[in-house]
């Protein structure tokens, strides 16, 4: 039985242990899991919650991911790409709100020219104290290198599922290249980025064994940042409509529920005690009143408030009815600090990079 972080041994959380917890339904046992994850969070990354301002800089995408509403096949959305000035204005907002990082996310959009974006990154780094995180899909190594040289600090690229067969079905290759996100993550690390990855919980075709393997993989990759959120069906996608041929699944389908997401969050904290882990927008979308707060109480230590201009934000519909911070919590941007104090936490100071307590130098 687990009670304090110090008596937890790795043996308890081998893949079999993870699998047992994923299947746990007893509410008293789950309370132990939450408390345990919260204790590990407290011991390794403390009470600070790092705030990252998310700017969705473009919703153009060349890919046709089976789960994502931005897929190129979806002709039903108006496409936009923010200008340099608009992005710089958002970075200034992030500074004004006291956020330590700006995250620039987009579909995989080659209309975002590598040199052009390098120029924007240089300006943000010259004019602000912000850390810069990118989440722009599977760009060629030359682009990743140019952005790193311009000063980008971190890169987010979820591997989505460690089940190779399922991955190939839901995330088709593009540009004649086999999609290998693990190899891109290794390249990013060699370039000196802090790297983030993660998965969706309950994606159709995901079984318990593969989800346990995903969590195990987080540890194997020694990730600096890990994002996990529930899969939310989008009606304009093959997965959302149910009209795709899924690979034969041997195990039982994982539900895409709020509870399952908390289990994954808590277990992720336990296997990766030092990682920066957000309480995700997808989670807040399932429980607008409390999702973000419960995520923070069950392992998470990061929140990514959306600072995309409203006229674009509604067009960045990776899944329907996305929650945004100003409507999901008592906090709007300027009220974040007070909201965190009220739930017993405090806003992170500085850039909120990974802290190392010994596992990697
Ligand atoms: N183009 C970038 C950013 C994608 S959006 C990239 O591919 O990396 C960021 C994440 O949103 C994705 O990695 C995926 O895990 C998640 N996402 C996409 N569609 C989703 C859906 N329908 N439900 C839940 N999460 C989704």
Q: What digits encode the pLDDT tens for the residues 283-301?
A: 999 998 899 999 999 999 9
Classify residue 358: in a domain, yes or no: no
Is the full-model pTM beyond 0.85? Answer: yes
pLDDT at res. 243? 84
CA-to-CA separations, 66 to 236, 253, 254, 291, in angstroms, rounded: 9, 17, 18, 26
188: which residues sit within 8 A by CB, 6+ positions away? 144, 155, 157, 195
Is the beta carbon of 265 within 6 A of some atom in ligand 1?
no
Average pLDDT, the chain: 92
pLDDT category of residue 173 using cuts at 50, 70 and 90: very high
How large is the average pLDDT for residues 26-49?
Answer: 97
pLDDT at res. 1? 43
Best probe residue, ligand 1, of 70, 182, 200 (max atoms within 8 Å of C-beta): 200
57: which residues sit within 8 A by CB, 6+ positions away? 81, 82, 87, 104, 105, 106, 112
Classify residue 3: in a domain, yes or no: no
Question: Percentage of the chain surpassing pLDDT 90?
Answer: 82
Helix axes 84-96, 114-127, angle to 10 degrees: 30
Question: Which CATH number do you get for residue 335?
Answer: 3.20.20.70
pLDDT category of residue 249 using cuts at 50, 70 and 90: confident
pLDDT category of residue 323 using cuts at 50, 70 and 90: low
Classify residue 168: in a domain, yes or no: yes
pLDDT at res. 321? 80
How large is the average pLDDT for residues 57-67?
Answer: 97
Is the beta carbon of 318 within 6 A of some atom in ligand 1?
yes
Nearest one of 342, 347, 272 to 37, comparing CA atoms? 272
CA-to-CA separations, 9 to 3, 6, 71, 153, 172, in angstroms, rounded: 12, 8, 43, 33, 39
Tokens (6 digits) for 268: 């992720």
**Is it the case that residue 330 has pLDDT exceeding 60?**
no
Is the beta carbon of 218 within 6 A of some atom in ligand 1?
no
CA-to-CA separations, 215 to 19, 41, 188, 299, in angstroms, rounded: 10, 16, 20, 14
Is the beta carbon of 254 within 6 A of some atom in ligand 1?
no
If residue 132 lies in a helix (H) or strand (E), which one and from where to where? strand 131-135
If residue 342 lies in a helix (H) or strand (E), which one and from where to where? helix 336-342
Q: Which residue's CA is minimally distant from atom 24 of ligand 1?
A: 231
Distance 283 CA to ligand 1 centre (A): 13
pLDDT digits (tens, 9 = 90+) for 187-238: 999 999 999 999 999 999 999 999 999 999 999 999 999 999 999 999 999 9
Is the beta carbon of 137 within 6 A of some atom in ligand 1?
yes
E strands, 202-301, are: 225-230
pLDDT at res. 360? 43
Residue found by looking up tokens 């960045």 in the block: 316
Classify residue 354: in a domain, yes or no: no
pLDDT digits (tens, 9 = 90+) for 43-53: 999 999 999 99
State the total domains in the chain. 1
Best probe residue, ligand 1, of 60, 61, 68 (max atoms within 8 Å of C-beta): 68
Distance 318 CA to ligand 1 centre (A): 6
CA-to-CA separations, 130 to 109, 112, 149, 313, 351, in angstroms, rounded: 24, 21, 16, 22, 7
Classify residue 189: in a domain, yes or no: yes
Q: Which atom of ligand 1 is nearest to the CA of 230?
A: 24
Helix axes 208-221, 15-23, angle to 10 degrees: 130
Nearest one of 48, 23, 36 to 270, comparing CA atoms? 36
CA-to-CA separations, 71 to 58, 68, 107, in angstroms, rounded: 13, 6, 8
Report whether 348 contacts 48 (CB < 8 A). Answer: yes
Report whether 306 contacts 299 (CB < 8 A). Answer: no
**Is it the case that residue 174 has pLDDT exceeding 70?**
yes
Range of the domain at 31: 21-346
181: which residues sit within 8 A by CB, 6+ positions away? 138, 157, 158, 159, 160, 197
Classify residue 326: in a domain, yes or no: yes
pLDDT at res. 354? 86
Q: Which atom of ligand 1 is nearest to the CA of 157?
A: 8
Classify residue 351: in a domain, yes or no: no
**Is it the case that residue 329 has pLDDT exceeding 60?**
no
């Amino acid at each position: 039985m687990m009670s304090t972080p110090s008596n937890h041994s790795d043996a308890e959380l081998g893949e079999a242990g993870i699998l047992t917890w994923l299947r746990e339904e007893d509410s008293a046992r789950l309370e132990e899991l939450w408390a345990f994850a919260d204790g590990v969070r407290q011991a390794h990354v403390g009470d600070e919650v790092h705030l990252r301002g998310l700017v969705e800089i473009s919703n153009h995408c060349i890919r046709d991911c089976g789960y994502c509403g931005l897929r190129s096949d979806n002709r039903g959305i108006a496409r936009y790409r923010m200008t340099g000035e608009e992005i710089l204005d958002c970075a200034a907002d992030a500074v004004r709100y006291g956020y330590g990082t700006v995250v620039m996310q987009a579909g995989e959009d080659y209309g975002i020219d590598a040199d052009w974006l390098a120029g924007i990154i240089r300006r943000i780094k010259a004019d602000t104290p912000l850390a810069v995180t990118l989440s722009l899909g599977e760009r060629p190594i030359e682009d990743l290198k140019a952005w790193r040289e311009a000063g980008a600090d971190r890169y987010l690229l979820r591997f989505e599922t460690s089940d190779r067969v399922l991955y190939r079905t839901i995330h088709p290759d593009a540009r004649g290249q086999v999609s290998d996100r693990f190899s891109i993550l290794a390249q990013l690390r060699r370039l000196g980025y802090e790297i983030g990855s993660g998965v969706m919980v309950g994606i159709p075709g995901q079984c318990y064994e593969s989800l346990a393997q995903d969590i195990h993989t987080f540890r194997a990759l020694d990730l600096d940042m890990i994002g996990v959120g529930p899969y939310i069906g989008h009606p304009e996608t093959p997965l959302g409509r149910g009209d795709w041929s899924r690979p034969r699944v041997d195990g039982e389908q994982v539900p895409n529920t709020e509870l399952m997401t908390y289990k994954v969050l808590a277990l992720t904290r336990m296997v990766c005690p030092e990682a920066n882990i957000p309480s995700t927008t997808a989670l807040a979308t399932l429980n607008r009143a409390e999702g973000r707060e419960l995520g923070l109480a069950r392992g998470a230590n990061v929140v990514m408030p959306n600072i995309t201009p409203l006229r674009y934000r509604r067009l960045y519909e990776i899944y329907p009815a996305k929650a945004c911070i100003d409507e999901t919590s008592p906090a709007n941007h300027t009220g974040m600090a007070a909201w965190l104090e009220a739930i017993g936490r405090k806003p992170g100071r500085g850039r909120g990079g990974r802290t190392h307590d010994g596992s990697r130098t």
